[in-house]
Amino acid sequence: MSEYFENSGLLRAWRALGYSLRGLRAALRHESAFRQELALGLALVPLGLWLGANGVEKALLAGSWLLVLLVELLNSAIEAVVDRVGAERHELSGRAKDMGSAAVLLAILLAVLVWGLILVPRLPG
């Protein structure tokens, strides 16, 4: 029987947690964009939890930046796979990397939009 089928229940969840933490460590070690977005998130997420007037606003403010981190992790995974396949230039490899980058950009724009729609109307004047 394969190792996959031997892992079930709590053992599988425990091992999955280990793989996830290993992925986060790899992103911290190898991905400068992730480190930068995480540093910003360490300020923005608590700020969003503080500035939100209710649970929905808190979730939108904090969650919109957590989404940026999530998309950056996926983009980094795409880039790692493309780089693993080969170093030569290929149209599809470039397209995959560009689309991953575009996804990060859209996530950042979404976060800016959410923060603006929630906080700008509260500004005095």
Q: Which residues are catalytic?
A: 72
Neighbouring residues of 16: CB distance < 8 A, sequence distance ≥ 6:
none
| Residue carrying structure tokens 């969650």 | 63
Listed residue (21, 116, 32, 109) closest to 67, CA to CA: 109
The whole-angstrom separation of Cα 91 and Cα 84 is 16
- For residues 74 and 106, is the Cβ–Cβ distance under 8 A? no
- For residues 48 and 66, is the Cβ–Cβ distance under 8 A? no
